[in-house]
Structure 1
Amino acid sequence: MAGLCEGRVVIVTGAGRGLGRAHALAFAAEGARVVVNDLGVGLDGLPGPESPAAQVVREIEALGGEAVAHGGDIATPQGADSLVEAALDAFGRLDTLVNNAGFLRDRMLVNLDEDDWDAVMRVHLKGHFLPLRAAAAWWRAEAKAGRPVAARAVNTSSGAGLLGSVGQGNYSAAKAGVLGLTLVAAAEMGRYGVHVNAIAPAARTRMTERAFAQTMAAPEDGGFDAMAPENVSPLVVWLGADASAGVTGRVFETEGGRITVMEGWRPGPTADRGARWTPAEAGEAAVKLLAAAEPPLPAYGSGPA
């Protein structure tokens, strides 16, 4: 199973189903040894009857690859630390972390209670931070010990984090937070040989196939299945490989056969009077600047701008 990731050890969180499973299998197909993390919970984050991580491990082994399962809660310090330890115990090293785990608790803002806010922020944002911190600590220690590091972290954001999504205030805020975390981690960890990037994928998963059933449906004529999660994995594998050297702090949208580099917030039209504005003057200046600015893209579910 030699390939782009031959010899690398890769962690994928939420890898029992959907995008995570596709990523784990794709990394294994390129020669990586994989730690398959999955807590085995439902769409709402509540425990299910059994974790699917072991099944993905069996799939990888059936293809001739090497993998181990990890069932810990990566949104806890103990779970995140044990995730990195699982890679080190099984394979002696860690090269790539793919943060993918998540679930939904969608509500309109006025109906969104604190528990649903906290649960989604916990799994998506804290569930990125803690594994990233644990992995980064090991990579930094390796670099300081004089051992070469060519590490990669791939975070999972969303179009909801880039643009917002009606009925998903908690999810959108968490995924926007992932983008900020990615930029900071890339800036801080580059000196240790660590590249950190993010993707904003669109694919058919348990989280999307109900909310966007018509858009996510597989074609009945057997044509190209643009929403298959396997379409996203090639970019993730490349970002997780040595081949992506020099690429860090970037965000990619990816779906079907399309890859887009997202350019983020950049300064637009500006006015500077060199002194304090009055409220009326500030408003007049803002109106002129808005007239010269590019219109924003609409949030998902809101219709045209």
Structure 2
Amino acid sequence: MTPFVSLENRTIIVTGAAQGIGQAATRMAIGLGANVVAVDMNEKGLAQTAVDLPAAQLMTVAGSVVDAALAERTVREAVARFGGLHGLVNNAGITRPAMIEKMKAEEWQQVIDVHLTGSFYWLQAAGRQMLAQARAGDTTGGSVIQISSDAGRKGSVGQINYAAAKAGMLGMTMTAAREWGKYSIRANSVCFGVVETPMTEVVRGEKFRDNMLAQIPLGRWSSPEEAVRAVCFLLSDAASYITGQHIAVNGGFHISL
């Protein structure tokens, strides 16, 4: 029987792959048969991500996502090594929290650069390659996953930069879905609530823990491994008729029509 979710013969770029969601997505995608290009500034973290993973299916790239030239070069190198490109997980992210009236210009710009501008660079570079493959007759198609957040749909106190960037990623997703659908290239967002990663340590800490858990109907955080199941599903042919959507993986933290 063919597995319901398979990534066999697919090559996928994952940004922010050195920890948390990116690391979990890399490991799960490889387990499902994919070749993965893992991108992160943290070389030591990339090496840890690679532990116990088959070298034949993994390529690591150290560098900043806010580097358009790196995005273009990584796509070329991925195609040269694996023969094509079929997916992108735009996951890299940072936080620079501050209340609106206290936020410094550089704190605003750093977050916008990584989440929004960086995502655009990788979306553009990966999209160009997937479009070229489709125009050359490849019917495999492609899948882009933008890792957004509930913050982009409901706001987040002390994180106007992060909320604005994550909301912008939703618009990017919908636009890519409309432009590229005729080439069988799908684009979707996954909006996480609170996942057990280094980025959420503060909100999961003693000061905020009880209040946050009270807002989650399932009453618990998600592990990275649980969270990325939706990512791998959307990358696969099991989601072949899903595009332009924002999928919430949040335990009910944010519920909307």
Normalized against structure 2, the TM-score is what? 0.88
- Is 1:212 matched up with 2:204? yes
Secondary structure at 1:196 match in 2: strand
1:254 deviates by 0.4
Match of 2:152 in 1: 161
Judging changes above 3 Å, is the alpha-carbon distance between structure 1 residues 259 and 134 closer, same or farther for their aligned structure 2 residues? farther
Match of 1:54 in 2: 47
Match of 2:232 in 1: 237
Secondary structure at 2:199 match in 1: coil
**One-letter code aligned to 2:241:** G
Q: Which runs of 5+ in 2 are unaligned?
A: 213-218
Q: Which runs of 4+ in 1 moved over 3 A?
A: 214-217, 258-263
Of structures 1 and 2, the one with the larger relative CO (CA 8 A, separation 6+) is: 2
Match of 2:122 in 1: 131
Normalized against structure 1, the TM-score is what? 0.75
Distance 1:77 1:31 in 2: 28
Q: Deviations over 1:103-162 (max 9, x none)?
A: 100000011111111100000001111100001111111122222232000001111101
Greater helix share, structure number: 2
Task: Show the 5 A alignment for 1:18-33.
Answer: 18-33=20-35
Q: Among 9, 18, 35, which residue is 2:11 paired with?
A: 9
1:225 deviates by 6.8
Q: Among 248, 260, 264, which residue is 2:243 paired with?
A: 248
Percent of paired sites with the same residue? 35
**One-letter code aligned to 2:122:** P
Distance 2:166 2:177 in 1: 17
**One-letter code aligned to 1:57:** A
Judging changes above 3 Å, is the alpha-carbon distance between structure 1 residues 160 and 260 closer, same or farther for their aligned structure 2 residues? closer
Secondary structure at 2:191 match in 1: strand
Distance 2:235 2:9 in 1: 12
1:51 deviates by 3.5
Q: Say how many residue pairs are matched.
A: 245
Q: Which runs of 5+ in 1 are unaligned?
A: 41-49, 218-223, 264-305
**One-letter code aligned to 1:38:** D
- Is 1:75 matched up with 2:66? yes
**One-letter code aligned to 2:157:** V
**One-letter code aligned to 1:83:** T
Report if the CA contact (8 A) 1:28-1:65 is conserved. no
Report if the CA contact (8 A) 2:188-2:245 is conserved. yes
Q: Among 65, 85, 93, which residue is 2:76 paired with?
A: 85
Report if the CA contact (8 A) 2:96-2:111 is conserved. yes
Secondary structure at 2:51 match in 1: helix
Q: Deviations over 1:43-91 (max 9, x none)?
A: xxxxxxx431122123322xx8621101122221111112212321221
